Structure 1
């Protein structure tokens, strides 16, 4: 079974829901060699990107209380669960057009120019309901490498 031309899609990241973003970031940096690549404010919390080579982890604050089991357009929010997987491309619109009606969009496309100019994402669901983010234009905020990873 072929889905057509997919050469423009590359692995991007896995997104994790965390009880304590800083503790989770420290764990992956200390024990697995990730470095802090970016952090963005979101309301009263933040989103943190960790990088090891070409692999990224995106860390979200987990929901607390009755909403723990709720799913949003970008995936489930309960601590200890995978929120979504992500692929990157140079052209989200082309990917969505190629997918046609099989693109079950759950959120977006959204623009994140206030954080990184040109960064856009859309979230779609696979046949089992797993959320897949398709992103274009993301770039790391930091340039200092390991030293930046130790400063949470």
Structure 2
């Protein structure tokens, strides 16, 4: 459905470090950096999980008044667990440890985390049927 989504960040490099470390089990990494001004100015950073183009963008802009939420697809439950372990190693706040969330559907397995700007971010694997 979506081609890409972006989040404003209080500190782009702090967010890049967070997403690169915590979501490394999903192969998330920097795909492209776009300068926004003279050398040393914050950059817009496009993150990718190995696709043809960056689909998650981090941009300078400061905090937003309301919590944002994004869920990243995990190939299996082990990857969700690996994101959880990476989050703990990175010192990230864990909102909900990995488990099945039957209130969403019986095969909804996810971990929910808080990113550096206070957003609710998630790794999720769906088992249908």
Give the alignment's TM-score, normalised by structure 1.
0.35
Q: Could you say which structure has the larger radius of gyration?
A: 1
- TM-score w.r.t. length of structure 2: 0.40
